[in-house]
Amino acid sequence: MQRRHFLALASASAFVSGFPQAVQASAAPQDVVQTWYRLVLELVRHTATYSPPVAARAFGYLGVAGYEAVASGLGAASLAGQVNGLTAVPAREAAVYDENLVLHGVMCEAVFTFFGNTGPTGQRAMAAMKAKLGAKLAAGVAEDVVARSLAYGASVAKHIEEWSQSDGGAVIDNMGFPREWVLTAGPEHWLPTSKIVQQQAPLLPNWGKNRPFAMRPDAVCGLAEPVAYSEDPASEFYKQAMEVYDTSKSLTDEQKTIAKFWSDDPMLSPTPPGHWVSITLEILQAQGADLAHSVDALARIGMAVADGFIACWQAKFEYDRIRPVSYIKRVIDPKWEPMLITPPFPEYPSGHATQSGAAAEVLTAVFGDNFAFDDATHVDDNIPARHFASFKAAAEEAAASRLYGGIHFRAANENGLKQGACVGANVNLLKTLG
Amino acid sequence: MNRLSVVLALMPSVALAEAPAPQVPIFAEETATAGVTQTYGGEWEYMAGGGAATLDCNADAKPDLILAGGSNPAKLFVNQSPQGGALRFAETASGLEETAVLGVYAIDIDSDGISDVVLLRQGENEVMRGLGDCKFSRANEDWGFDGGDAWSTAFSATWENGQSWPTLAVGNYIDRKQDMFPWGSCTDNWLHRPAGHKFAAPLALKPSFCALSMLFTDWNRSGTPSLRVSNDREYYKGGQEQLWHIDPDQPPALYTEAEGWKRLRIWGMGIASYDLNFDGYPEYFLTSMADSKLQTLAELPAAGGPKPTFADVAFAKHAIAQRPYVGTDLNPSTGWHAQFEDVNNDGYADLFIAKGNVDAMPDFALHDPNNLLLQRSDGTFEEAGDRAGVAATGLSRGAALADFNADGLMDLVVVNRHEPAQIWRNTSPAAGHWISLSLHQDGTNRDAIGAWIEVQMGDHVQRREITLGGGQGGGILGPRNFGLGDKTEVGVRVIWPGGNAGAWETLTADAAYQLRPAAPASKISP
């Protein structure tokens, strides 16, 4: 069944009316945010650049841009001086602004910058959104207000773009794969697991050196050392490998569903960070959240997943650990294959676990503890929605999914969640709406 | 940190030195003089397509050429090349000069011995009846063909058992009216089955996942071809590659995981097939972006038919075209048309891949050379596009390898987006012996689509299935060439559609023959 949420309606009606229906109905600024974010989730899915770490970074900057533009109108606290390296965004004139158009101005600039490394279809979609939504939002608004609002939004976005250029992640070459790579010697270390030539080198080996948003660069959240490598059947490492192997041989239907639900493969889904952005959007929409709380939540979730990947990647390339499929084929069963496609980078910790732990920590702070919700991120792919009693429960399931899928050992999942909680706690320290 | 001293060159570690290096063919570009002038034009709606089709439209035993034009009219070029000489074509008014054509495939639909043509279009597809002497006229109404209104991007045809009229499969792409949210808008593919000597109303092949290539192929040698569909993951949601049961008098049904089908999700753009390992079953090459697949059956049971479980051996066989091998633009590649032919006549099918950026996709190479992967005797491949002279870097889409000047060497034409098509003559001085075989049946299915040709090579048998479809927007109708290496005569037989195996017949190399059921081969002189 196709999801008939806000944007699905917008999509279905776009051909008839030329404009998203929900925007027509209310034209509330938060709907402008939702509309653009739904496009962004598609751009992430359909653009090769946006591997999970890169997508997370873009979500972080887009969120900050949206928040800063709105906060400047509300007199709310700026993130300037709180997040690393951000200076004050341009101030507003003492004049009338239209918040719809301010946000549209932000998104037109920031989406094209942070998600614009896309092909002709994505370019066409962004251009159509800019033109059609812009025309709709400008209808009935004084020309000077339109111009001022769009220009202000664009100026904030450009300020954020300038800031982003120095974080270490602005340029992505060869989809993030080094053109040459030297494997680390030793049986415990990562080996290529893919038959795709490009993936004989690991994804984004320097990503952990990027400037984070809320973590102090000199105090990136760490985690416990991985289990000591061993091929001794009595060792903890072997036991954790056998757990992956045995689990794969006895997967329940529910475990298969969970593995598939959180698989979040690049180019086939909005990726793990996009999954949490999707969750956030759905909750904001269901709650009828106002503009301020919408952009605040999206800024926080964006920064959380972005910092989550930085912390995770720093550890991944510090430890450079072997994937289950490599170990199990070598030591236990040469013919074994995991349920999920093993991602092309080191194993410890789990990226999904770390960023899910961060996301859960932040969303719990935003929406409350034991906040139950339905996650319909993948209904368009014929994967039914799942219900969760809390964000923490969802994050724990996301982490466990990597064990069911055969791509991580238990320690990477459990310790990744803890690392993510640390990341999220840093974001939670930021002062925004007061 | 302790590091291995060897830098990964990011290439598979195959036994490169074990098999003798194949003879590198030589191609001379004759675009400027051959008379083939066509540009595949148009914007977003024409990012796929650009097909090339070969046929003999004037019964002179030389392959003529039709090239799609996108926003430009399609064109037919009559082959006037002298045997063994320079390539020469004459653009000829044919009735095919339609705009909005993405794909062209020749097929004798009404079995009158004159090739007809299917035009895949933005909008209504058309079947064009061959009138002879390279003239065509629309036959949608006469043949009950509902051309629909879609973005058609893939085609294949077969004659189902017992039918005197073909079954056509048409693959369709996204809903072109969706500008802000086109993703997930894949429109239905169609199966045009016969209703007597007309087409029945098209049957929607649900689910459809934005097909860019389709091929009827008897993958399990059951005698009943299935429909292989390669889909573009850029646009589908919940999709994957597909294999359909197309059983006579039965509704189409997808092969399932329970039957052994394994989910594969790629930017599927082109299908080529050939029995590369001489086991009697075809391998399939699937073009994609930053990757490509060479699939072989994972297991051949001692008894009974194989399951549709395929292993990807592209990496192991070095059948890879993942990024440019010449120039300074080393971003990942975008592969489109693929075709297996033996370009050096050494007895091992080689692989040509047309490549080119979709249209300024920033993650992918903008100067993406076409590939010519030569197969070694051990089944591995090595790149020779640059050495052979065909490493052009236009925005290539469709292509066709055919022996245009009847010298036994496979020539090449490539259709480019926004740029003129290019054509090369194979001038290799040291190629092996060859044989060219055309199949002909009386009655229906005159070109014996679905037959298998077998060529006895001593310790193994070359086999190739006569298919119609696949590739990117175009395909071959006409003779099939086999390289014979140093053999000057070979045993040849045909397993005709329906399963009747002809008798083995010894034929002399370096000649073209027509093969008919229950009749001796006859030489063809162009």
pLDDT tens figures, B124-170: 999 999 999 999 999 999 999 999 999 999 999 999 998 999 999 99
Question: What band does A434 get if pLDDT is binned at 50, 70 and 90?
Answer: confident
Residues 79-138 of chain A whose Cβ lies under 8 A from any Cβ of chain B = 117-121, 124-125, 128-129, 132
pLDDT for position B11: 58
B8 to A383: CB separation less than 8 angstroms, yes or no: no
Residues 30-69 of chain B whose Cβ lies under 8 A from any Cβ of chain A = 44, 47
Residues 319-338 of chain A whose Cβ lies under 8 A from any Cβ of chain B = 320
Share of chain A above pLDDT 90, in %: 90
Q: Strands across the sheet with B511-515, in order?
A: B480-485, B433-439, B511-515, B522-524
Better-scored residue on pLDDT, A216 or B101: B101
Closest CA to A47 of A203, A309, A271, A200: A271
> Per mean pLDDT, which range of A85-89, B12-16, B398-402 is the poorest?
B12-16
pLDDT for position A182: 96
Question: What band does A7 get if pLDDT is binned at 50, 70 and 90?
Answer: very low
B180 to A197: CB separation less than 8 angstroms, yes or no: no
Q: Give the CA angle between residues B420, B424, B426 to the nearest 5°.
A: 170
pLDDT(A9) > 80: no
Closest CA to A45 of A379, A275, A298: A275
B179 to A382: CB separation less than 8 angstroms, yes or no: no
Q: What is the mean pLDDT of residues A221-233?
A: 97
Cβ B82 vs Cβ B89: under 8 Å = no
Better-scored residue on pLDDT, A16 or A316: A316
Q: Which residue among B9, B12, B177 sits closest to A15, beta carbon to beta carbon? A: B177
Q: What is the mean pLDDT of residues A111-127?
A: 94
Q: What is the mean pLDDT of residues B176-201?
A: 96
CA A144 – CA A302 distance, rounded (Å): 33
pLDDT for position B50: 98
pLDDT for position A31: 83
- Contact with chain B for residue A183, Cβ under 8 A: yes
CA A152 – CA A434 distance, rounded (Å): 24
Q: Which residue among A175, A185, A197 sits closest to B4, beta carbon to beta carbon? A: A185
Gap from A434 CA to chain B (nearest CA, Å): 36
- Contact with chain B for residue A7, Cβ under 8 A: yes
pLDDT for position B17: 53
Question: What band does A27 get if pLDDT is binned at 50, 70 and 90?
Answer: low
Neighbour tally for B195: CB within 10 Å: 11
Share of chain B above pLDDT 90, in %: 94
> Per mean pLDDT, which range of A1-5, A31-35, B63-67, B344-348 is the poorest?
A1-5
pLDDT(B20) > 50: yes
Question: What band does A16 get if pLDDT is binned at 50, 70 and 90?
Answer: very low
**Structure tokens given for B297:** 């059956």
**Structure tokens given for B8:** 């990964």
User: Which residues of chain A make contact with B178, given a CB cutoff of 8 A?
Assistant: 11, 14-15
- The helix/strand/coil state of B78 is strand
Q: Which residue among B2, B332, B359 sits closest to A186, beta carbon to beta carbon? A: B2
Q: What is the mean pLDDT of residues B420-436?
A: 97
What single-letter amino acid sits at B72?
Answer: N
- The helix/strand/coil state of B226 is strand
> Per mean pLDDT, which range of A31-35, A54-58, A205-209 is the poorest?
A31-35
User: Which residues of chain A make contact with B151, given a CB cutoff of 8 A?
Assistant: none
* Interface with A, mutate which of B175, B179, B180 (most A CBs under 10 A): B180
Question: What band does A266 get if pLDDT is binned at 50, 70 and 90?
Answer: very high
User: Which residues of chain A make contact with B360, given a CB cutoff of 8 A?
Assistant: 119-120
pLDDT(B28) > 80: yes
Question: What band does A4 get if pLDDT is binned at 50, 70 and 90?
Answer: very low
pLDDT(A34) > 90: yes
Closest CA to B220 of B261, B191, B248: B261
Q: What contacts A103, CB < 8 A, 6 or more positions away?
A: A29, A32, A33, A36, A66, A69, A70, A153, A291
CA-CA distances (angstroms) from residue B196 to B55, B162, B163, B164, B167? Answer: 26, 11, 8, 8, 11
pLDDT for position A218: 87
User: Which residues of chain B make contact with A381, given a CB cutoff of 8 A?
Assistant: 237-238
CA-CA distances (angstroms) from residue B339 to A58, A254, B285? Answer: 40, 43, 9
Q: What contacts A210, CB < 8 A, 6 or more positions away?
A: A57, A167, A168, A169, A310
What single-letter amino acid sits at B19?
Answer: A
pLDDT per residue as tens digits for the range B237-271 = 999 999 999 999 999 999 999 999 999 999 999 99
CA-CA distances (angstroms) from residue A2 to A7, A12, A310? Answer: 11, 11, 34
**Structure tokens given for B378:** 């051990």
- Contact with chain A for residue B258, Cβ under 8 A: no
User: Which residues of chain A make contact with B289, given a CB cutoff of 8 A?
Assistant: 48
- The helix/strand/coil state of B55 is strand
pLDDT(B2) > 80: no
Q: Looking at this predicted complex, what is its ipTM? A: 0.88
**Structure tokens given for A156:** 């904030």
Q: Give the CA angle between residues A69, A72, A77 to the nearest 5°.
A: 110
pLDDT for position A29: 76
Q: Strands across the sheet with B64-67, in order?
A: B52-55, B64-67, B75-79, B89-92
CA A415 – CA A402 distance, rounded (Å): 13
Gap from B69 CA to chain A (nearest CA, Å): 20
pLDDT per residue as tens digits for the range B330-372 = 899 999 999 999 999 999 999 999 999 998 898 899 999 999 9
* Interface with B, mutate which of A4, A121, A379 (most B CBs under 10 A): A121
Residue of B nearest to A382 (CA): B238
pLDDT per residue as tens digits for the range B295-307 = 999 999 998 899 9
- Contact with chain A for residue B299, Cβ under 8 A: no
Entry pTM: 0.93
What single-letter amino acid sits at B214?
Answer: M
pLDDT(B474) > 70: yes
Gap from B308 CA to chain A (nearest CA, Å): 18
pLDDT(A68) > 90: yes
User: Which residues of chain B make contact with A320, given a CB cutoff of 8 A?
Assistant: 1
* Interface with B, mutate which of A195, A265, A340 (most B CBs under 10 A): A195
* Average pLDDT for chain A: 92
Cβ B526 vs Cβ B83: under 8 Å = yes
- The helix/strand/coil state of A321 is strand
Neighbour tally for A225: CB within 10 Å: 12
Residues 245-284 of chain A whose Cβ lies under 8 A from any Cβ of chain B = 267-268
Share of chain A above pLDDT 70, in %: 94
Q: Which helix (H) or strand (E) element contains residue B425?
A: strand B422-426
Neighbour tally for A195: CB within 10 Å: 17
CA B327 – CA A268 distance, rounded (Å): 31
* Interface with A, mutate which of B47, B173, B181, B208 (most A CBs under 10 A): B181
Q: Which residue among A120, A181, A195 sits closest to B47, beta carbon to beta carbon? A: A120
A197 to B181: CB separation less than 8 angstroms, yes or no: no
User: Which residues of chain B make contact with A198, given a CB cutoff of 8 A?
Assistant: 10, 290-291, 322-323, 332
Question: What band does A371 get if pLDDT is binned at 50, 70 and 90?
Answer: very high
Cβ B361 vs Cβ A49: under 8 Å = no
Contacts across the A-B interface (CB distance below 8 Å): 135
Closest CA to B155 of B56, B229, B57: B229
Residue of A nearest to B265 (CA): A268
| Residue found under tokens 């270390």 | A189
Cβ B241 vs Cβ B212: under 8 Å = no
B179 to A124: CB separation less than 8 angstroms, yes or no: yes
A195 to B361: CB separation less than 8 angstroms, yes or no: no
Residues 318-347 of chain B whose Cβ lies under 8 A from any Cβ of chain A = 320, 322-323, 330-332
CA A101 – CA A92 distance, rounded (Å): 14
pLDDT for position A30: 79
pLDDT for position A22: 30
- Contact with chain B for residue A14, Cβ under 8 A: yes
Q: Which residue among A14, A186, A382 sits closest to B238, beta carbon to beta carbon? A: A382
A48 to B363: CB separation less than 8 angstroms, yes or no: yes
Gap from A232 CA to chain B (nearest CA, Å): 23
CA B526 – CA B35 distance, rounded (Å): 20
**Structure tokens given for B371:** 């590939």
Share of chain B above pLDDT 70, in %: 97
Residue of A nearest to B321 (CA): A197
